[in-house]
Structure 1
Amino acid sequence: MRIADLQAQLIEYAKSIGVDKIGFATASPFHELKNRLRRQQELGFQSGFEESDIELRTEPLRLLDGAESIIAIAIAYPSKMKDAPAGKKGERRGIFCRASWGIDYHVAVRERLQLIEAWLAERVPDVRIKSMVDTGELVDRAVAERAGIGWNGKNCSIITPEFGSYVYLGELITNIPFEPDTPIEDECGDCTLCLDVCPTGAIVAPGQLNSQRCIAYLTQTKGFLPDEFRGKIGNRLYGCDTCQTVCPKNKGKANWIHEEFTPDPEVAKPLLSPLLSISNKEFKAKFGHVSGSWRGKKPIQRNAILALAHFKEQSAIPELIDVMKKDERPVIRGTAAWALGKIGGHEAQLALQGAKERETDAEVLTEIEKGLALL
């Protein structure tokens, strides 16, 4: 079969399995990206979650011998929640970012990549393929940009004309020399809204992110959240959408396309207080299917405590005192102590003074002192 015919048929097949955009790129090295990644490393702007070997991230031939092209796919996810519950005094709620609504996107994207792999293997006997989504070596956004899926926005997201930046990305490196697509022209213009409103100033320049300051990254860490960011996290339990929600290119992009990404409002916007005492089993049953659960319950619980402090939720004081007294994990005990100080009141003050006498962990004692100082 002619490659042009194979490519045309693949585009049709991809649509039939729920791929919203497909593009093709050469497998040549990403030279400009390599320089950018080196600079990011030098500046200490990386999160630590990404592949550390820059050569592997920028040279497809190191990942697949004989690589000729890369197939990039994008799947749109919703930006709006139907019947979203409203939090109120006594029933405060947290929020998971939109990329963690519905089924874990790693599963959804990987399923489609595997179907494309099987489809190609049936038609090209000697085909070689390496596919990846998010946790792979290649930089998904760089591949998508080269393949004409969208342009790399100032908010460090791929922005598509059809779905805005609310898309999951995946790619397949292959030894089939597909005709490459033309990259899309950048349409950000002189808009800087995403830079202007980033809560922590993590977008240091157009298209340049200091991951160490990004709330999306910070919500996934397991230690104490640095003091500087505690007042900025709001009620975010996992991820941050601010730089997407303010983007004019996302206006009107609801993307209610795939049933599997439709959020359960009680999972995407859960009540905060029950999270403080949720068991591992309960956490897995309720949140195990969403991408935001990948780091386990500890970061989510820490963030829930910070959210209760953000709301100054008086009704949570007894539960926070219980957590400060009984939880085995210093990070959770200490964060609860800080939160009690932030919320304030006589009951919180007495509890903190009592905890100061009992506590033996140095870091927790520091948080108790911070709590008392806030009072």
Structure 2
Amino acid sequence: MKIEQLQSELIEYAKSIGVDKIGFTHASPFHEMKNRLKRQQQLGYQSGFEESDIEKRTEPLLLLDSAESIISIALAYPSKMEDAPTGKKGARRGIFARASWGVDYHVAVRERLKLLEEWLRERVQHVQTKSMVDTGELVDRAVAERAGIGWSGKNCSIITPEFGSYVYLGEMITNIPFKPDTPMEDECGECRLCLDVCPTGALIEGGQLNSQRCVAFLTQTKDFLPDEFRKELGNRIYGCDTCQTVCPKNKGKSNWIHDEFKPDPELAKPLLQPLLQMSNKEFKSKFGYMSGSWRGKKPIQRNAIIALAHFKEQSAIPDLIAIMNKDERPVMRGTAAWAIGKIGGPHAEEALRKAKAVEKDEEVLREIDKGLKLLIS
């Protein structure tokens, strides 16, 4: 079978299995991305979650020595929620970012890539492939940009004409020399809304991201959240969508396409207080199928405490006092102490002073002192 026919049939098959966009590019190095990553490393902007070897991230031949081309795929996910519950006093709610609504996208995209690999194996002798999603070596965005899926926006997301930036990306390196697609022209123009509204200034001019300041990254950390970011967290318990929701290219893009990505409103916007006492087993049972569960319950619970402080939710004080006094995890005890001071109320000072008299951990003691200062500020 000729390459052109194979490529055409592969595109049709991809559509039939729920791939919303597919593009092709050559397997040569990503020189511009390599320079960007080196700069990011020098500036200390990396999150620590990504592959640390920049050569592997930008040299496809290091990952598959017979590489000729790379197939990039995109799956659209919803930007809106039907019947979204509303939080209220005594029943405050947090929010998972849209990329964590529905089934874990790593699973969904990998399933499509696996089907594409099987389809190629049935038709091409000695075909070689290597697929990856998000946690793989290659930079999904760089591949998608060069394969014509969309352009790389100032918000560091791939923006597609059809679905905006609400797309999951994955790619497959192969030894088949497919015809490369043409990259798209950047359509951001002079717009800088995402840069201007980023809560922590994590987006740098030219589409550079300081991951260490990005709220989406911060919600996934497990240590104490630095003071300067606590206010900016709001009620976010996983991820951040601000730079996407303000993007004009996302206006009117609902993307209600795949049932597997449609959110359960009670999980995408969960009640905060029940999260505080949830066991590991309960957490995995309830949230385990979502991508936002990958770091376990600790960051979610810490963020839920901060969100309750954001709302100054008085009904949470008994739960927070119990965490401050009994939780084995210093981060939880300390964050709860800070939150008690932030919320205030008739029992706050007494509870904090009692905790201070028996607490041994230095970091927790500092958080208790922060809580006491908040009561008198």
Give the TM-score, by structure 1 length.
1.00
- CA deviation string 1:202-221 (max 9, x = no partner): 00213100000000000000
The CA deviation at 1:186 is: 0.5
**Cα distance in 1 between the residues matched to 2:39 and 2:324:** 42
**Which residue in the other structure is 2:59 paired with?**
59
**Which residue in the other structure is 1:191 paired with?**
191
**Which residue in the other structure is 1:126 paired with?**
126
Q: What SS does the corresponding residue of 2:168 show, helix, strand or coil?
A: strand
The CA deviation at 1:67 is: 0.4
**Which residue in the other structure is 2:263 paired with?**
263
**Which residue in the other structure is 2:20 paired with?**
20
Correspondence list, 1:92-111, <5 A = 92-111=92-111
**Which residue in the other structure is 1:350 paired with?**
350
**Which residue in the other structure is 1:49 paired with?**
49
Contact residue 195 and residue 206 of structure 1 kept, 8 A: no
* More off after superposition, 202-211 vs 147-156: 202-211
Gaps of 5+ in 1: none
The CA deviation at 1:66 is: 1.3
Confirm or deny that 1:275 pairs with 2:275: yes
**Which residue in the other structure is 1:293 paired with?**
293
**Cα distance in 1 between the residues matched to 2:204 and 2:8:** 41
- CA deviation string 1:234-267 (max 9, x = no partner): 0000000000000000000000000000100111
**Which residue in the other structure is 1:325 paired with?**
325
The percent of aligned pairs where both chains have the same amino acid is 80
**Which residue in the other structure is 2:341 paired with?**
341
**Cα distance in 2 between the residues matched to 1:287 and 1:219:** 16
Q: Aligned AA for 1:231? A: K
**Cα distance in 2 between the residues matched to 1:231 and 1:303:** 11
The CA deviation at 1:30 is: 0.5
Q: What SS does the corresponding residue of 1:184 show, helix, strand or coil?
A: coil
**Which residue in the other structure is 2:369 paired with?**
369
**Cα distance in 1 between the residues matched to 2:360 and 2:43:** 37
Q: What SS does the corresponding residue of 1:117 show, helix, strand or coil?
A: helix
Contact residue 30 and residue 58 of structure 1 kept, 8 A: yes
Q: Aligned AA for 1:39? A: R
CA RMSD for the aligned pairs?
Answer: 0.4
**Cα distance in 1 between the residues matched to 2:276 and 2:53:** 38
Q: Aligned AA for 1:141? A: R
Correspondence list, 1:71-220, <5 A = 71-220=71-220
Q: Aligned AA for 1:18? A: G
**Cα distance in 2 between the residues matched to 1:354 and 1:149:** 58
Q: Aligned AA for 2:307? A: A
**Which residue in the other structure is 2:311 paired with?**
311
The CA deviation at 1:358 is: 1.0
**Cα distance in 2 between the residues matched to 1:348 and 1:280:** 28
The CA deviation at 1:346 is: 2.2
- CA deviation string 1:172-194 (max 9, x = no partner): 00000000000011000100000
The CA deviation at 1:65 is: 1.0
Displaced runs of 4+ in structure 1, greater than 3 A?
Answer: none
- CA deviation string 1:274-323 (max 9, x = no partner): 00000111100100000000000000000000000000001101110011
The CA deviation at 1:335 is: 0.1
**Cα distance in 1 between the residues matched to 2:131 and 2:193:** 34
The CA deviation at 1:56 is: 0.2
The CA deviation at 1:151 is: 0.1
Q: Aligned AA for 2:150? A: G
The CA deviation at 1:51 is: 0.3
Q: What SS does the corresponding residue of 1:231 show, helix, strand or coil?
A: helix
**Cα distance in 1 between the residues matched to 2:17 and 2:257:** 13
**Cα distance in 2 between the residues matched to 1:374 and 1:278:** 28
State the aligned residue count: 375
**Cα distance in 1 between the residues matched to 2:204 and 2:34:** 19
**Cα distance in 1 between the residues matched to 2:171 and 2:185:** 21
Q: Aligned AA for 2:17? A: I
The CA deviation at 1:361 is: 0.8
**Which residue in the other structure is 2:245 paired with?**
245
The CA deviation at 1:103 is: 0.3
